Amino acid sequence: MESRPEVLVVGAGIMGLCTAFALRAQGARVRVVDAVAAPNPHASSVDHHRLIRHSYGAQHGYMRMVDDAYLAWSRIFAALGEAPYVETGVLALDEGVGTWLPESRAAMRAHGLAVEDLPAPALPARFPWMSDARVVDAFFCARGGVLLARRIVELLAARIAPGIARVREVHDGAVTLEDGTRLSADMIVVAAGPWAPRLLPGIAPRVTASRQIIVRLAPPPALAEAWARAPMLLDLSELGGFYMVPPVAGTPIKIGDHSFSRQGDANDPREASAAEAEAILDLARHRIPGLEHYTPLGAMACYYDVEPREEFVVDMLSPRSIVMSGFSGHGFKFGSVLGQAVANAIINPALRAALPDWAAGRISPPPGLLESAA
């Protein structure tokens, strides 16, 4: 492959845009196409916010990768001239039914992060919007916050200027559009989110589109000040649970579940039914008292591309094509570093063999995989 490869990226979500951004920094000729103009409101990566945090239970590889992601985001933000990120800290709770919280705490402390244990009775005084009902264990970590996802995608799309094209098939080094047009390149990167199994039948057994519901709220006026200082909340276990994003930078409170439906089609409407929204609120009622006094700001469905073990799928499909998929709900935070790694592997073929295991969190990155051209 020539020193300035030509790369065609299919998908203008966070993975495709970050990959294109890193490739252009290294002099590659890059074209990005998507079926809808970016930011695509139906894309997995387009919403007010996404979380970044080190708490990953026993998935130590992803915990360590968060450091690399922060560094890669800082480089991207410096290049963009804007940093759409708000540090909130992380409040994690456990009701004594799983190992996710104690495993997260132990791994984070071994990694050198400051983790503050919180006794359950002290929680309502520190966080007036919440209840300590059924809480058995809790910790707070100051490192962690909210990536303003929609703004990040807007900024990257403005730099990359993706084109609009509906892709029908992906081949080795080429794609065929729905109108029959064939586009070729030295390398094809498929970063199509929940649409990837449609374009790449070979990954369909590994990755499933999954309909997920989020609910947006505004707090009662009496609690507005407390909510303005709120951390992200992770009330999780191996059995499910929910997450909450605080109302940072003028955004609403967001509540979503941590279980995957693994149902639906990525082309389905994004409207959420009243029953779907109520099911999400029911997860949080015991944790946020008086939820009926919060102002509903709407609910919607989004679609994730889910791998059974929540391991990212970044792999060579052929000598001239790479897939980026399986990011479930936790991929956005790693878009910066995944894009850098894929770009480096395109430029340096010797790095490609390490991509699958590193992206799945199983190995440390080999030298050169995460280096920036900046």
Adjacent-strand bridge partners of 304: 210
Please indicate, yes or no, if residue 222 is contained in any of the structural domains.
yes
Please indicate, yes or no, if residue 294 is contained in any of the structural domains.
yes
Please indicate, yes or no, if residue 267 is contained in any of the structural domains.
yes
The C-alpha atoms of residue 126 and residue 156 are separated, in whole angstroms, by 37
Q: What is the pTM of this model?
A: 0.96
Please indicate, yes or no, if residue 369 is contained in any of the structural domains.
no
Count of structural domains, the chain? 1
CATH assignment of the domain containing 223: 3.30.9.10
Please indicate, yes or no, if residue 33 is contained in any of the structural domains.
no
Please indicate, yes or no, if residue 261 is contained in any of the structural domains.
yes
* Domain limits for position 300: 89-143+208-306
pLDDT tens by residue, the chain, 374 residues: 446 899 999 999 999 999 999 999 999 999 999 999 998 888 887 789 999 999 999 999 999 999 999 999 999 999 999 999 999 999 999 998 889 999 999 999 999 999 999 999 999 999 999 999 999 999 999 999 999 999 999 999 999 999 999 999 998 889 999 999 999 999 999 999 999 998 998 898 999 999 999 999 999 999 999 999 999 999 986 566 899 999 999 999 999 998 889 999 999 999 999 999 999 999 999 999 999 999 999 999 999 999 999 999 999 999 999 999 999 989 999 999 999 999 999 999 999 999 999 999 999 999 999 999 76
Please indicate, yes or no, if residue 321 is contained in any of the structural domains.
no
Please indicate, yes or no, if residue 45 is contained in any of the structural domains.
no
